Structure 1
Amino acid sequence: MGIYPADIEHQAAAIIAAYRDLGWMLATAESCTGGLIAGALTEIAGSSAVVDRGFVTYTNQAKMDLIGVSATTLEVFGAVSKETALQMAHGALMRSDAEVAVAVTGIAGPGGGSVEKPVGLVHLALKTRSGLIDHREMRYGEIGRDQVRLATVETALEMLTAAVQAPA
């Protein structure tokens, strides 16, 4: 067993196999997970055939500089928003050789939440070059920082799996 729980490793291995079979590469853009999604995927031997790159964009400045999130989006909607997650996925896709990009931004806690954006709120977005767009707003609750981050990894892997299964 590696660094990640067995269910995450199994899911990551299935994604690596499915994407490799299709000849697809993927990219990640991560804020609250700090690279854990890319880490889970690269835990799998042979993942270099599938994982093109990962962007850890923890600050707003990094989101703007590395993956082109607009300052206006961040000012109007905030870093933890559907709009920011969608721009993160788009930016990661456009700045990579990937067919699919997944992005996450959220509040892992224990602090930093508000009534409108509580601890455990995470926005995930996925975009493909063929035009598929997926967004999920997850409210994991105050289950602890590590658990919010791992739950986010699981949801992101579910989205990457669904992208392979979607009709072309």
Structure 2
Amino acid sequence: MSTSRLLLIIEDDEAFARTLTRSFERRGYQVLVAPGYDEASTLLETHSPDYAVVDLKLKGNTSGLACVQLLHQHDSEMQIVVLTGFASIATAVEAVKLGACQYLAKPSNTDDIEAAFGHVAGNTELEVTNRSTSIKTLEWEHIHAVLAETDFNISEAARRLGMHRRTLARKLEKQRVK
């Protein structure tokens, strides 16, 4: 790999973005940081990153999925890794459809992310398990899918799920969505 690798980090948590930046700079990357969609769009006007790390849930009801789509439209060869504190099958599938090469659950470190950049091709040797999904997991995935559809608007998601807003808020608090 060349020493002029340009990485864009789209992360609204300043401390985590700083930590990732330092770690990737030590590995020879040139790093740009954007806290959201608009800032990333502005950076893309003057830069063409080779790699991107995108947080799935950004402040201001912005989904990282919109950022993935923006990045992929800018350069379809860009290696995009999505990080999330609340992984679900629905958002993983959407992230890959929109152009992400990998989807990692937090906590993930620089080693995990860099390995994801290098592991773009699928693996046919991956073991398929016979473990069934629990009701709680299915419920959480459904809730998360509806939240993603509503751009993380809790009131609208609760309405679509047929539950009271406070009930949904309590469920989300138990899951510690970040």
Q: Same fold (TM over 0.5)?
A: no
Indicate the TM-score class for this superposition, using the shorter chain for normalisation: 0.3 to 0.5
Whose relative contact order is higher, 1 or 2, with alpha carbons under 8 Å and at least 6 apart? 1
Question: Could you say which structure has the larger radius of gyration?
Answer: 2
TM value normalised by structure 2 = 0.35
